[in-house]
């Protein structure tokens, strides 16, 4: 047993000596193994924001953006604005909500004043700021919040900010719902009816507009 243990010890010493005197092995290069392919995730398709220029005349858009800067003290909210294109026929969608953050545009119909279209052609031809003219006014308005009137009921109040519309409160120029702006009237007559100068809309559109216009946003009308 003693010899065996000694033999094991000597043998182990020989092995150690052999390892010490053997030539150094070549360095081992470990190649980087690519990960196994995985199924690519399906990308979420997000529709791009609508380009306001597709629905809104560039001139109208440009004038409205300039009005935002000119009247910034009266129009503190710049998340969205409202444009009215009086160059268009009354049966067309010509009241636009422009999302200034996402770029989306939502279109509605709105009327013009009977004094702006005495022949009831469907096109507004003349505009005025004069009381009892029953004409539409153009320029920049500031939305002044939800209101309620004995004749029109729920509405959105407006303050005119320019010489062309600064009597809007005196003239009771507001946004309100009207039967002559409803889809069935349009289907029957081929055009909307005329207001006394207000921006009348379909009854079904008014609640959303009343909530979203709020107070301190731009409504800009032009022809």
Residue with tokens 């109208």: 60
Domains and CATH numbers, the chain: 52-222 (2.40.440.10)
Q: Where are the beta strands (DSSP E) in the chain?
A: 80-85, 95-99, 105-108, 139-149, 153-160, 174-177, 199-201, 215-222
| Residue 29, pLDDT above cutoff 70 | no
The whole-angstrom separation of Cα 136 and Cα 116 is 6
Of the two residues 40 and 178, the one the predictor is more confident about is: 178
Predicted confidence at residue 55, as pLDDT, reads 86
Which residue has 């809309």 as its token pair?
Answer: 201
**pLDDT-based confidence at residue 52 (cuts at 50, 70, 90):** low
Local structure of 157: helix, strand or coil: strand
Provide the pLDDT confidence category of residue 54 given band limits of 50, 70 and 90: confident
| Mean pLDDT over the full length of the chain | 84
What tens digit of pLDDT does each residue of 125-169 get?
999 999 999 999 999 999 999 999 988 899 999 999 999 999 999
What pLDDT score does 53 carry? 61
Q: Are 99 and 52 in contact (CB under 8 A)?
A: no
């Amino acid at each position: 047993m003693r010899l065996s243990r000694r033999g094991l010890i000597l043998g182990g010493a020989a092995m150690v000596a052999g390892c010490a005197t053997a030539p150094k092995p070549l360095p081992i290069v470990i190649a980087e193994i690519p990960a196994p392919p995985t199924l690519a995730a399906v990308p979420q398709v997000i529709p791009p924001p609508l380009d306001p220029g597709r629905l809104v005349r560039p001139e109208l858009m440009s004038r409205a953006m300039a009005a935002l800067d000119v009247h910034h003290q009266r129009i503190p909210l710049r998340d969205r604005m409202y444009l009215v294109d009086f160059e268009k026929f009354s049966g067309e969608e010509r009241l636009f909500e422009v999302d200034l953050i996402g770029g989306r545009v939502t279109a509605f119909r709105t009327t013009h004043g009977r004094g702006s279209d005495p022949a009831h052609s469907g096109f507004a031809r003349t505009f005025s700021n004069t009381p009892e003219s029953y004409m539409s006014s153009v320029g920049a308005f500031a939305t002044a919040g939800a209101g309620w009137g004995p004749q029109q009921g729920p509405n959105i109040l407006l303050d005119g900010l320019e010489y062309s519309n600064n009597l809007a409160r005196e003239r009771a120029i507001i946004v309100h719902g009207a039967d002559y702006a409803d889809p069935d009237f349009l289907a029957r007559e081929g055009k909307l009816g005329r207001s006394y100068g207000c921006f009348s809309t379909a009854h079904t559109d008014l609640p959303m507009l009343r909530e979203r216009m709020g107070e301190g946003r731009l409504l800009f009308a032009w022809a």
